[in-house]
Homo-oligomer: A and B are copies of this chain.
């Protein structure tokens, strides 16, 4: 049999600076905000936001009403989620809301005495497993790949990430809907028109979103959940109350401002708002970001085409985006690179001083690796240059 291995790169490359594309740090949007961020500036005085409370009579008592309003507005104008009849729960990013949802779903009255299995179709976001296993809870435990999971035995939780992290695919529940035993969490962090065509408003029981991937403001750590069942929303709020007594109000008010500006921008320009299929949506934050992402993907596909004996990338069909009023191909936040000869793709990258996240972390083969497409411009450009020097050779050839 032919075993493939990683060929050491030339000495010059070994000494080249490290390009870190492991994390999904959304610096790609920084130039946009440098140019257009003026309207988003906020000022916080010394006497603002002293209290824990924001809206004591609301289910999510620590959530600023302005933020809730801005969230509903941006979903309405983008058309990516149905908020009618949903409760909104704020989180320190959406990460913690995933944990809040696990808590809420695994402590509802109808659950079994055994820890509930949490599953997700592979390749799955590497952090779900880490979060589920962190405290060795008796409430829930990691159940691995949803595709190979038997959902008929006991209640379980399935996470559906769409578009998927790492591979950008659009997904529906793999197992939960079939058996009736499953409870669903939809992680829709990337369901925004900067990454993917908005084909319809998502309408699920628990939907998670985050400012990080929507506008790029990762440092503010603001996420939100749209939750249909009020009891689930209450339990998620209880989780937030016990673990962190709420979420930074400073960041909530900032997020409200940013989302408000983005929504207003969309209302002024987007096709949907005027009922014609113009392309004014290109001028919005999402339109500009989509162009940027599309350009990066074009460069990546070009670079990978030149190395077509080494790598392959997933193909995504064009779809009609209701928000943009045009057909386009998804341009996900991550590139999901497969090494054609089956060698360890992340090790291959690492040998060339490119840090990526290997397939095994996502529950699949090491022949895959995930590459951030949302890094700073110079890092991305340097990465594209570096691809040309990467090769993976059969040992037999040596």
Copies in the complex: 2
Is A46 touching B51 in the complex (CB atoms < 8 A)? no
Q: How far apart are A208's CB and chain B's nearest CB, in angstroms? A: 14
- Interface check A357, CB cutoff 8 A: no
Contacts of A36 in B (CB 8 A): 46
Whether B219 contacts A46 by the Cβ 8 Å rule is no
Q: Does A179 contact B (CB under 8 A)?
A: no
- Shortest distance in angstroms between A32's beta carbon and chain B's nearest beta carbon? 8
Q: Which of A7-15, A127-135, A160-168, A381-389 contacts B (4 or more CB under 8 A)?
A: A127-135
- Assess the A50–B219 pair: CB atoms within 8 A: yes
Are A239 and B46 touching (Cβ within 8 A)?
A: no
Assuming the A-B contacts A131-B243, A135-B137, A239-B134, are A217 and B49 also in contact, with contact meaning beta carbons closer than 8 angstroms in the complex? Answer: yes
In the complex, the answer to whether B92 meets A244 with C-beta atoms within 8 Å is: yes
Chain B CB within 8 A of A47 CB? yes
Q: How far in angstroms is the closest Cβ of chain B from A95?
A: 6
Decide if B245 touches A248 in the complex (CB within 8 Å): no
At the interface, yes or no: A43 with Cβ under 8 Å from chain B? yes
Query: Does residue A312 face the partner (Cβ distance < 8 Å to B)?
Result: no
| Complex interface: stretch among A19-27, A324-332, A358-366 | A19-27
Query: How far is the CB of A141 from the nearest CB of chain B, in Å?
Result: 10
**Mask: chain A, 166-180; 1 = CB below 8 Å from B; 0 = not:** 000000000000000
**Contacting pair B52 A46 (CB below 8 A):** no
A139 to chain B, nearest CB (A): 5
Is B50 a contact partner of A218 (Cβ separation < 8 A)? yes
* A103 surroundings in chain B (CB, below 8 A): 134-135
A221 and B242 form a contact (CB under 8 A): no
Assess whether A45 is interfacial by the CB under 8 Å rule. yes
Asked if A216 lies at the interface with its beta carbon under 8 angstroms from chain B, I say: yes
Q: Are A242 and B136 in contact (CB under 8 A)?
A: no
Contact B52 A30 (CB under 8 A): no
Interface 1/0s, chain A 258-274, versus B by CB < 8 A?
A: 10010000000000000
Given known A96-B244, A243-B99, A250-B250, contact A37–B29 (CB-CB < 8 A): no
CB < 8 Å: which of B47, B135, B258 contacts A46? B258
Nearest Cβ in chain B — how far from A34, in angstroms? 5
B50 adjacent to A27 (CB under 8 Å): yes
Asked if A117 is an interface residue, CB under 8 A from chain B, the answer is: no
- B25 close to A219 (CB less than 8 A): no
User: A243 touching B46 by the CB < 8 A rule?
Assistant: no
7 contacts between A and B (CB under 8 A): A38-B45, A41-B45, A42-B44, A49-B219, A52-B218, A54-B219, A221-B249
Known: A26-B50, A220-B248, A221-B244. 19 other contacts (CB 8 A): A25-B53, A33-B46, A40-B45, A49-B217, A49-B219, A49-B220, A50-B217, A54-B219, A92-B244, A95-B244, A103-B134, A130-B242, A134-B239, A135-B135, A136-B137, A137-B137, A221-B246, A248-B251, A250-B250
The 10 tightest CB contacts between A and B, nearest first, are A37-B46, A40-B46, A49-B219, A33-B47, A248-B248, A219-B249, A136-B138, A248-B251, A135-B137, A92-B244
